[in-house]
Structure 1
Amino acid sequence: MQKRTAAFIFFIFIFIANLNAQSVSISGNVYDISGRRPIESVIVYSSANRAITDSLGHYQILVKAKDSLWFSLFGKHTQKYTIDTIEDLQHFNIMIHVTGYDLPEVRVRNSYYKLDSMQNRADYAKFFNYSAPGLKLSNNQNLLGPNGLTIGFDLDEIINMFRVKRNRNLQFLQNRLISQEQDKYINYRFTKRFVQKLTQLEGAELDKFMEYCRPDYAVLALLNDLELGLFIQKRFAIYKKGG
């Protein structure tokens, strides 16, 4: 009985050893073409397994010794890398060139948005540059008088402090212009073409998702094109689950 148990354990050990010998663990990081910015949510494939890079661009995947490895971002695949040609299995880092073809938003952009924004700022400079009146030094006052240092306050600013209705209207118009400018910026970057490319949604379903996913200006201003694409994909995953 003891011999049979020992033999069984021996064969189990050999079986596990063979499995380990047939599979290897590969890890590394995925960066953009500069080699400095890590890319999150890149899918790493082998013929029988897959992994996804984390926020630091890091991945780890178990593959067969005779297998190949490849990477995918926004449905675009890299070349396949044969495992036995990879020298350092624990530091297999790659760089992905994210082009305008991968991110259609880059292609549909044009210079007119920035020109329109600059022109709008120039046309309504009075409102964009408005600040609440207060005690300010006059630009026309000589600070050094015959008897030493003298201080002169701006008389117009003092008068404007008491023009409550005027100040309220100017503040309202400034807020409205800034809000319109921010909405145009969101529309300029968060386009149907871009979202449809990433989600494959169409028609009313696309409109519904765009309303659900539309980012705030404060969020969008912090995202580059790649990060915006990842933001949309994450929101789409939640959307499909009914979130």
Structure 2
Amino acid sequence: MSVSTLVRKGLLILLLVLMRFVVAAQQVQVSGTVYEKTATMGLSGVSVHSNSGAGAITDSMGRYNIKIPVTDSLSFSYQGKSTQKFAVKEINLTRPFDMKLFVEIKTLATVEVKAKPKSYQYDSLENRREYRKYFDFEPEYITSGNGGAGINLDALFSIGKIKRMQQFRKFLQRDEQEKYVDHRFNKDLVQKITGLKSPLLESFMVEYRPTYAMLMSFENEYDYLRYIKEMGTYYESEVRRGHTNIPVFNR
């Protein structure tokens, strides 16, 4: 076999390898809606996973959108149960890739609501308005006037009052942060993501309640929901091994 033939074969093999890398790196967008078993209502909080590590969570209407390699595969999980894996190359990307999970959704009978309950955002805004002078309070020890800069004697003689104002502001800030955690880490969301029920649910929420700083550290909503899911799975396994005082029961 001549040298030129070997070179041509080597180049051909290299070209084939490069083509495989190009195909593997090609990103496609898969989107659709996840429904409950009657296919009439979208399911929120469904996890969408890929082998490459990408993930998404369905919104309040059950819709999802995820960008992954064409060589990847998808699966869906809800309340600890997962579907089979679906190869992306076998999905028709020209139309939505909808999924139906055999889950029952319980709905409440329609009732007449005379007064809309206040939302967390409304309460937080009202709280800021009511205590605005405390949130915006900054003591001025230096004054300026026609005679130039000087010492604010009123501020110096009111140090006790200033300290009380600052302490109350810190209290208001902590209270606001705790209410934000209550809003984000609520019972309905945690139960939907973990599948835990009372008394495990209440115990889990006390033990794994995130701090305000922790909530702010999550890069996106998916990372936050994944934290709840993983901690819920770990907590339930600890209960079943008898490492907590909560009684074990079958869900």
Query: How does the TM-score come out when normalised to structure 1?
Result: 0.53
Q: Residues 216 and 134 of structure 1: is their aligned pair in 2 closer, same or farther, counting only changes over 3 Å?
A: same
Deviation, 1:178, is 0.8
Within-5 A mapping of 1:92-111: none
Residue 127 of structure 1 is matched in structure 2 by 134
Q: Is 2:176 aligned against 1:186? A: no
SS at match of 1:198: helix
CA–CA separation in structure 2 for the residues paired with 1:131 and 1:32: 51
Deviation, 1:186, is 0.8
* Structure 1: tracts of 5 or more residues without a match: 1-25, 34-40, 45-50, 64-68, 87-91, 98-109, 143-149
Within-5 A mapping of 1:136-155: 136-137=143-144, 141-142=145-146, 150-153=147-150, 155=152
- Residue 27 of structure 1 contacts residue 58 of structure 1 at CA under 8 Å; is this kept in 2? no
Deviation, 1:227, is 2.6
Letter in 2 for 1:174: R
Deviation, 1:30, is 8.7
Letter in 2 for 1:72: F
Q: Residues 188 and 31 of structure 1: is their aligned pair in 2 closer, same or farther, counting only changes over 3 Å?
A: farther
CA–CA separation in structure 1 for the residues paired with 2:24 and 2:216: 33
Q: CA-to-partner distance for each residue in 1:174-198, whole Å, 9 max, x for gaps?
A: 1111111111111111111100011
Q: Residues 192 and 31 of structure 1: is their aligned pair in 2 closer, same or farther, counting only changes over 3 Å?
A: farther
CA–CA separation in structure 2 for the residues paired with 1:32 and 1:170: 54
Within-5 A mapping of 1:30-41: none
CA–CA separation in structure 1 for the residues paired with 2:30 and 2:120: 27
Residue 197 of structure 1 is matched in structure 2 by 192
RMSD of aligned C-alpha atoms?
4.4
Percent of residue pairs bearing the same amino acid type: 23
Residue 171 of structure 2 is matched in structure 1 by 176
Q: Residues 215 and 78 of structure 1: is their aligned pair in 2 closer, same or farther, counting only changes over 3 Å?
A: same
* Structure 2: tracts of 5 or more residues without a match: 1-22, 32-46, 56-65, 99-116, 244-251
Q: Residues 136 and 231 of structure 1: is their aligned pair in 2 closer, same or farther, counting only changes over 3 Å?
A: farther
Letter in 1 for 2:131: Y
Residue 230 of structure 1 is matched in structure 2 by 226
- Residue 142 of structure 2 contacts residue 149 of structure 2 at CA under 8 Å; is this kept in 1? no
Q: Of 117, 123, 147, which aligns to 1:116?
A: 123
Deviation, 1:43, is 3.4
SS at match of 1:203: coil
Q: CA-to-partner distance for each residue in 1:84-128, whole Å, 9 max, x for gaps?
A: x47xxxxx9xx999xxxxxxxxxxxx8722122111111111211
Deviation, 1:215, is 0.8
Q: CA-to-partner distance for each residue in 1:21-54, whole Å, 9 max, x for gaps?
A: xxxxx96679797xxxxxxx8534xxxxxx4616
